[in-house]
Amino acid sequence: MAETKESGALARVPVYIMGKRYMVPPSLTIQKAFEFAGYQLIRGCGCRGGICGACATVFRFPNSHKIEVGLACQTVVQPDMHLAQIPFYPAHRRAYDLAKEDPSPDVLGRIYPEIYRCVACGACTKACPMEIQVMDYIAAAIRGDVAKVAELSFDCVMCGLCASRCMAEIGQYHVAILARRLYASKIAPRAEHLGKRLKEIESGKYDKGLDELVKVDEAGLKKLYTALEQEPEMAGEDWMPKEKNNL
């Protein structure tokens, strides 16, 4: 239940950070509640937009046996939450040379044999703040389907919350990024326009423009930035700016 410190004051709710009680506004995210309470976030604050995965958080409510998880920048505080940050989860990441690996059916299991310990409990999927079907992509990894793992894990932000809840101690997100790297480098068809652009770069087509840009001072950069033609919100795929010198 929300509490009020004094008459006329904004509502405050109690939260417990590292075991200590603080009264914070109920509209804050966990990350902002930490800062409101006086904590200076140097690590584990990241993008603040739910993309980088740096602010993994665990919390528990009174009289509940269940550990809850989420991203601190996206989860709003609730009364009597007991909070702790885990901005880095030490899941094991194996070394490999991507150039020497191929997307064969055995590659994920050979590099990360712990995937075969999966008991399909679903704890990893329940923990994922991006609502990824983590258990399903581990099942695909066991089958040797690299492309499916890459597809299902595409939105992974590498927060590590899946690994923190895994009874088989699998580093799911490390398996997933290996699959995405293999897919991007060895399976996905090459983009013709990318090859064309790389040849243009190698030929020196953009050297003059870049050299001029390096010489511009801060005020000049701000002027150039504000003068940029913005892409319309509903622009089609064939939209091009009027100024094409650097295209």
Domain CATH for 133: 1.10.1060.10
Rounded to two decimals, the pTM is 0.76
The letter for the amino acid at 136 is D
User: For residue 61, how far is the Cα from the chain centroid?
Assistant: 26
At 142-195, the pLDDT tens digits run 999 999 999 999 999 999 999 999 999 999 999 999 999 999 999 999 888 888
Tally of domains within the chain: 2
Q: How far is CA 140 from CA 102, 144, 181, 232, 240, in A?
A: 17, 6, 16, 40, 40
Residue that finishes a domain, picked among 85, 107, 135? 85
Residues 6+ apart with CB under 8 A from 202: none
pLDDT at 9: 53
Backbone angles phi and psi of 230, in degrees to 5: -85, 140
Categorize the per-residue pLDDT at 121 as very low, low, confident or very high, splitting at 50, 70 and 90.
very high
3-state secondary structure of 167: coil
Percentages helix, strand, coil for the chain (3-state, rounded to 5) are 35, 10, 50
Torsion sign, CA atoms 207, 209, 210, 214: positive
Q: Which of 85, 109, 137 is the last residue of a domain?
A: 85
Q: Which residue has the tokens 């899946």?
A: 162
> Is 220 part of any domain?
no
Q: Which domain holds residue 138?
A: 98-187
In the chain, where do the E strands start and end?
3-4, 11-17, 20-24, 56-60, 68-71, 81-85
Amino acid identity, position 71: L
Band of the pLDDT at 247, cuts 50, 70, 90? low
pLDDT above 90 coverage of the chain, percent: 68
End of a domain among 187, 206, 239?
A: 187
Cα distance between residue 223 and residue 188, in whole Å: 40
CATH of residue 19: 3.10.20.30
66 and 102 belong to one structural domain: no
The tens digit of pLDDT for each residue in 82-100 reads 998 887 888 989 999 999 9
Q: Give residue for tokens 């983009």.
A: 191
Residue 198 in domain: no
Contact 104, 182 (CB under 8 A): no
Give helix 134-143 / helix 172-182 axis angle, nearest 10°: 60
